[in-house]
Amino acid sequence: MSRRSTGGTWLRCCLIVFAIASALCVSGPALYWKFKKVSAASSSSSSCPTCSCDCPPPLSLQDCSRLAMTWVYNLIKGTVMPSGLVNLSVTDCGKSDPDLNEEMEKQFVDLLTEELKLQEKVVEEHLHHMNTTFGEARRLASQYQREAEKCNSATEICEGAREHAEALLTKERKVTSLWERRARQLGWEGE
């Protein structure tokens, strides 16, 4: 009984430590930036001049989670990773640089072009496979049609031969009946 209670206590402690570590990992960056702002405001008399960069404010916890979900969704789909998650440790100060924007736009356009080409290739392969399958189906249907026509023709020939044999049998019975009647008239008594 004491073994179960120590095992259960140990499991609870592990779960609590895991929950605390997860909460710190999720909310740690946001708390860090808040404390940094508070410390920067309290030590405004520092010797460093203020930054004159047009940097966007750091990402909030909601923005980070939204970007992470987008990244996971795009990763599952196999599409491009969102640019906000490329490097979360460094803020994007170069966003206002036109040369950098142009280069990033080229890369994005190249990626989109490559993805479109891949999709076209997949569509072409699918179309080729579909055409091949359709051609094979038409060939088999034609072959089955020929076999069915042969079968119908053979059935008609057999039916004609059966009707002819039946007519001959009827005629032969009539002839046999006639000869039997004549033989009886001449005194034959039969077997």
Mean pLDDT of 155-159: 94
Contact at 8 Å (CB) between 97 and 87? no
Q: Looking at the whole model, is its pTM more than 0.75?
A: no
Q: How many CB atoms lie within 10 A of CB 74?
A: 14
pLDDT at 101 over 80: no
What are the distances in angstroms from CA 61 to CA 17, 43, 78, 93? 22, 25, 25, 20
Q: Which segments of the chain does DSSP mark as H helices, in order?
A: 2-42, 61-77, 98-185
What are the distances in angstroms from CA 176 to CA 164, 183, 188, 190? 18, 10, 14, 13
Mean pLDDT of 74-85: 55
Residue 6 Ramachandran class (φ > 0 left, ψ -120 to 50 alpha, else beta): alpha
pLDDT at 85 over 50: no
Instruction: Give the pLDDT score at 36.
Output: 80
Domain ranges of the chain: 59-89
Q: What percent of the chain has pLDDT over 90?
A: 36
Rounded distance between C-alpha atoms, residue 18 and residue 58, angstroms = 27
